[in-house]
Amino acid sequence: MTMASVHADNGNDPAAGALIALEGHGRADAELGTDTANTLGWFTSVFPVRLGVGEHAVDVARAQADPAATRALLDSVATHLREIPHQGLDYGLLRYVDRVPDLRGAAEPQVEFNYLGRIDLSGTEGNPWSLLVGAHDAALPLDPEPDLPLRYAVDVIAGIGTTPDGPALTTNFRWSTALFTEAQAARFADLWTEAIATLADAI
């Protein structure tokens, strides 16, 4: 919904869909038949998906006016993601190891979506640790390697954190200042917030 709205703002056809790099974390032992029990660290994978194509292109304005279209978009995204073999883990091998020409020559996503899952487990499962959140998280540098170029024009980094009112979705945005003004970045974040609220109302 956010990307369809951005396309519409820029005079582009939202029906082309949103080409997004999805970042995943965690071990896929059940999926791949591996055993990573004696390893340490995150197993990060990134693969591209194109979502909200054709009739499933729904911008925020249409979603607010037509909850059925919103639910149809959600169903199409869920179905598409379920159909991706091995949760996209094969993509890196096919592109960078096997060097499949169709993948090497494909368009690069400009937006990455990085869902971290539940990022604060303190007080919920009795674990003796939790990831840093809130003020502690904000104290960490967003770009610890400022000399490295950004791979994506926009990074959308989301996770579920604990608040006094219960679990809540928190989203951080990182964008290229060479490509976006503060106002454009704020517009993107506002559209994202509206899209999330509209989706929640529709389901």
Q: What is the pLDDT of residues 9-45, one digit of tens each?
A: 999 999 999 999 999 887 778 877 888 888 887 778 8
Report pLDDT for 76. Answer: 96
Report pLDDT for 191. Answer: 96
DSSP designation for 120: -
Structure tokens at 126: 């009795």
Question: CB-based contacts of 119: which residues, under 8 Å, 6+ apart?
Answer: 131, 133, 159, 160, 161, 170
Report pLDDT for 155. Answer: 93
Report pLDDT for 130. Answer: 53
Q: What is the pTM of this model?
A: 0.82
Report pLDDT for 93. Answer: 87
CATH says 2-202 is which class?
Answer: alpha beta
Largest CA distance in the chain: 51
Residues in the chain, pLDDT under 50? 123
**What is the distance between the alpha carbons of residues 95 and 22, in angstroms, rounded to a whole number?**
15
Cα torsion through 184, 189, 191, 194, rounded to 10: -150
Report pLDDT for 197. Answer: 95
Beta strands 154-163 and 166-175 are antiparallel
